[in-house]
Chains A and B, each alone.
Chain A
Amino acid sequence: MTNTVRIIINDQTYDVPAGMNLVDAAKWYANDDIPVFCYHPKMEPVGMCRMCLVEMGTIEKDRATGQVVLDENGQSKVRWMPKLQTACTTTVSDGLVIRTQTQQVQDARQNVVEFLLTSHPLDCPICDKGGECPLQNLTMEHGPGVSRMAFSDKMRLDKHVPLGDLIFLDEERCIQCARCVRFQDEVVGDDVLAFHERGRSLQIITNSEPGFDTYFSGNTTDICPVGALTTADFRFGARPWELTEVPSICPHCPVGCNISLSTRLDRDFGGKTLIKRVMPRQNEQVNEIWICDKGRFGHHFSRSEDRLEDPLVRERSGRLFAKSWTDALAAAAEALKAAGSDVAAIAGSGMSNEDLWALRQLLAGLGSRRLGAWPPTHAGAEVVAQVGVGQGTNLGQLGRGDAVLVIASDLEEEAPIWRLRLKQAADRGAFLLVMNARPTRMDDFAAQTIHYETGEAVQALLALKDSDAWKQLAEAHNLVIVAGAEGLSLDGSRALAGAAANILLETEHVGKPNSGLLAVLPGANAMGLHYLGFTPAATLDIMQNPPKVLIVTQADLLLDDPTAAHWLAKVETIISLDLFASGLTQQLAAVALPIQSFAERDGSYVNGERRVQRFYTAQGPMGQALPAWQALSRLGEQLGQGTAKLSAAAVMVEIAQNVPAFAGVSFKELAKVERQYPDVGGKDLYYGGTAYRNRGGLGIQIPTAADQGQTVARFEAAADEPPKTRGKLVIVPSVRLYNRERTFRPSALVHARVPEAYAEINSADAKKLGIQDGDTVEIAIQNAPALRVRAHVNGGAPKGTVIVPRHLSDTAAPLAVTVGEVSKAEG
């Protein structure tokens, strides 16, 4: 274990780890809240605000003998420093003595608060922070009660400065603690905020174009110790004390950030409970106290206009009619009965484990095992189940002596919080190697970057052994490999996961915490899909051999896959369980059943690190929508498969009994919490900010085969044949965090940040085709309508490759790597 040192706080002795910050140590071990404004436990101290002043001294030792000097009472003598010292810039050391409650300290605190208030407005009644404001709280606790400042001399500054589209700055409220600036710089690495001017004119500015250009801006509003930074989303939505906090899980990506949905009844939402804001909920192993802006501002889809609210049945005329649940379920049951076992299902990765189990049971009852996972873009979940990052992994612990390899993924766009945490791992000294066919944001933080030919990720990984980087990986104390699937076919991504696993096995980086494989799978519950038997391979099989009846649950086939209309044409009946009325439901479904989003019901997801995490009912239901597990289990009842389940918890009991990976998992276990360091979210909002303490559960990480001590055989990792281009270009789909997916499009405030549909074209290819940067081009692939996008010719794409981000327009972009032609469009 780490060395401990002995310190004395208010005459009590404590043994604390050496090297700890004094403010942290006092709080964690002595339960002594030293007030701070500028210090934050997740950032380096700067000593700017002087709120943390304490009396400080050291136990005197005789220089010659090293013996502690005793005073006349036999007590050890303390050499006090002549003036108060800032606790936040002090690291604990043996014999450190502090006093935090003396008159001198209290006077100092009072003076700092009085001084801060000389230029602070009296906005509390309308300030979004009012009620959970560190400055308010510390003023109440330590402030003078009266001010000697003449009110007429107060600062008058701009109160409504948009820093970008999402965050507003009130210049009068800012106390210049620089937490926001330091967060962007130290934690995120997007250095887009800065101090401008000096002294009393000092202000926060954004120096990026567009303003505050980062995926993590919302976090600054949590750590800002005043209401200077507020989000455009929540602005004036409610007073903090009126909100009910509901623990939930972000539904947008495999990180599975723990969030709190702050809810309140709302007149405009029919008097039902509404999500007013999304806040981070502390889970040090998953997202610490951060979330990205997609998670924070991407909740509007849960009540979008496009939500499917009633069960629909397509009549002979081809039109959809609203029906009762009974009639719609009867229609679905009839279609299923007629099909016998010629049934298959495709489930999206936003479905909860309970939904997936109910779907699997329904199909099992019909005699079918064709369970497809959507989107079928990433294989490798089965490899993760064997050699994934070990139980107890915390990316926040990676540092000096460790190594991280990120391959074939644009992590910033696909899993923002992993990107943020790995950037910090690199800062702490971990060796970060980034490999991709094209430049990505992650390159900026990498110690080394390797660019390989498009589609040759596996070859590049196999070739690593002969490179200089190999030693760093092989000899690393911990090694995490993060494997995506960009530029790879499904087989290619399976081979990549296998090749990565082989490296981990060979270098003995499996079956222990902080080492192993992470697959950047799409969606919130891709690992859940795997554990419950849904595979992308089955989806490809369904595409090739369409069944008579296809059940599609929360998957947007038409908007995801431009060839979907082509292969779906051979399916006789589509039963769609969807959140939305547009797309597949409207165009092709014979029966459409409305289901509830993550916000409206209980359930659980398995994140990319295999952590089963529970979310709770937060928002009022939309129309007649039911949780998917319930709709499916009632459908099963209609088909004589036994009585429908009554609660998500009961479904989880059944999963735990039948699926070995879920052994021991129950809603009760998932809800367990323990004290986490640093201690944020208590009364002392000045310490960690307004991220919520975790009250909903830390989740349970499913052990890998390696964790359980099983020997894992080496994987098949034959390199994929590069696609035969025959003079065409390779079309590589990529992911953008901000896009026009139906689960994100309703968040109108982010629209300005969603890029216009584009494709990256290499300058050599562009020249050959007579295309210039900014031209409109048409991309044509087999069996799909042409896609019109803007050409970007600016070094983003390797030669022979066109990078086409998915979900940027209403026409589907290619789902998988393919070949196609690009031509300049008229007009």
Chain B
Amino acid sequence: MNVIRGFATTFKHLLEEPVTYQYPEQIRPFAERYKGRHELKRYDNGLEKCIGCSLCAAACPADAIWVEAAENTDEARYSPGERYAKTYEINMLRCIFCGYCEDACPTEAIVLGHEHRLSFTNRKDAIFTKDMLIDPVPEGGQATPQKVEPGVFTRAIPDMEDPK
């Protein structure tokens, strides 16, 4: 009797959809809150959200982030504020994907995305630079640095809307 029940179960499952994902051909959808590789965000006009404040680096428990800042000018503008990140690096070997950097960021510039394929063969490659982290320029936006009209960006930090 037990033998029959066993075979029945086996046959039943033979007819069911498999639960195995054929990674990498098949990728499982991520939970919205999954914390993968960081992305540095841009505004719609292409300017970078990051203002180079280093608060993410200060919040990071693993000391994984390195920021060096510089000043924007209207000739070469990277961010809408006075300051931008000249160097922005995250050492992915140190990062524990806790998301504290995201919490600390006053401009919502750094967001942990869904990218999880983070293998490297060499320790140096584990250091992700700004070019690797920053989002592509959105459609209709311009790459940075931008040349802008004087008098448009006069705030030290762009006014932030209430976070939605």
Interface residues of A (CB under 8 A from B): 121-123, 125-127, 158-160, 170, 235-239, 241-242, 266-268
Contact assessment for A170 and B54 in the assembled complex, using a CB-CB cutoff below 8 Å: no
User: For chain B, what secondary structure do more than half of its interface residues adopt (helix, strand, loop), or is it mixed?
Assistant: loop
**From A266, which residue of chain B is reached at the shortest CB distance?**
B68
Chain A residues positioned under 8 Å from B58 (CB to CB): 239, 241
Contact of A236 among B52, B66, B107 (CB under 8 A): B52
* Segment of B31-39, B40-48, B79-87, B110-118 in the binding face: B79-87
List 5 extra interface pairs beyond A236-B82, A236-B83, CB under 8 A. A123-B157, A125-B106, A126-B53, A236-B69, A241-B58
Contact assessment for A125 and B87 in the assembled complex, using a CB-CB cutoff below 8 Å: no
Q: How far is the CA of A170 from the CA of B82 in the complex (A)?
A: 11
Q: How far is the CA of A160 from the CA of B73 in the complex (A)?
A: 11
Chain B residues positioned under 8 Å from A125 (CB to CB): 51, 53, 55, 106-107, 157
Counting residue pairs across A and B whose Cβ atoms lie within 8 Å, the total is: 51
In the complex, whether B27 has a CB less than 8 A from a CB of chain A is no
Q: How far is the CA of A266 from the CA of B68 in the complex (A)?
A: 8
Chain B residues positioned under 8 Å from A236 (CB to CB): 52, 69-71, 82-83
In the complex, whether B156 has a CB less than 8 A from a CB of chain A is yes
Contact assessment for B52 and A126 in the assembled complex, using a CB-CB cutoff below 8 Å: yes
Contact assessment for A170 and B70 in the assembled complex, using a CB-CB cutoff below 8 Å: no
Q: How far is the CA of A691 from the CA of B66 in the complex (A)?
A: 26
Contact assessment for B54 and A242 in the assembled complex, using a CB-CB cutoff below 8 Å: yes
Contact assessment for A126 and B156 in the assembled complex, using a CB-CB cutoff below 8 Å: yes
Chain B residues positioned under 8 Å from A241 (CB to CB): 58
Contact assessment for B154 and A126 in the assembled complex, using a CB-CB cutoff below 8 Å: no
Chain A residues positioned under 8 Å from B53 (CB to CB): 125-126, 239
Interface residues of B (CB under 8 A from A): 51-55, 57-58, 66, 68-71, 81-83, 87, 106-107, 154-157
Q: How far is the CB of B118 from chain A (nearest CB, A)?
A: 22
Contact assessment for A159 and B68 in the assembled complex, using a CB-CB cutoff below 8 Å: no
Q: Nearest 10 A-B pairs (CB), nearest first?
A: A125-B53, A123-B156, A236-B69, A126-B83, A125-B106, A239-B54, A267-B87, A236-B83, A126-B53, A236-B71
17 contacts between A and B (CB under 8 A): A121-B157, A122-B157, A125-B107, A126-B53, A126-B157, A159-B156, A160-B154, A170-B156, A236-B69, A236-B71, A236-B82, A236-B83, A237-B69, A238-B68, A239-B53, A267-B68, A268-B68
**From A130, which residue of chain B is reached at the shortest CB distance?**
B53
Given contacts A159-B154, A170-B156, contact A126 B68 (CB under 8 A): no
Contact assessment for A126 and B70 in the assembled complex, using a CB-CB cutoff below 8 Å: no
Given contacts A236-B52, A241-B58, contact A121 B68 (CB under 8 A): no
Chain A residues positioned under 8 Å from B51 (CB to CB): 125-126
**From B107, which residue of chain A is reached at the shortest CB distance?**
A125
Q: How far is the CA of A179 from the CA of B68 in the complex (A)?
A: 31
Most buried by A among B57, B68, B70, B107: B68
Chain A residues positioned under 8 Å from B81 (CB to CB): 126
Q: How far is the CB of B87 from chain A (nearest CB, A)?
A: 5
Chain B residues positioned under 8 Å from A237 (CB to CB): 69
Contact assessment for A127 and B54 in the assembled complex, using a CB-CB cutoff below 8 Å: no
Q: How far is the CB of A329 from chain B (nearest CB, A)?
A: 36
Q: How far is the CA of A159 from the CA of B158 in the complex (A)?
A: 13
Q: How far is the CB of B156 from chain A (nearest CB, A)?
A: 4
Contact of B82 among A122, A160, A242, A266 (CB under 8 A): A160
Q: How far is the CA of A125 from the CA of B70 in the complex (A)?
A: 14
**From B54, which residue of chain A is reached at the shortest CB distance?**
A239
Chain B residues positioned under 8 Å from A235 (CB to CB): 71
Chain B residues positioned under 8 Å from A158 (CB to CB): 154
Q: How far is the CB of B59 from chain A (nearest CB, A)?
A: 12
Most buried by A among B70, B71, B156: B156
**From B51, which residue of chain A is reached at the shortest CB distance?**
A126
Q: How far is the CA of A219 from the CA of B51 in the complex (A)?
A: 27
Q: How far is the CA of A739 from the CA of B35 in the complex (A)?
A: 55
Q: How far is the CA of A235 from the CA of B72 in the complex (A)?
A: 11
Q: How far is the CA of A236 from the CA of B73 in the complex (A)?
A: 13
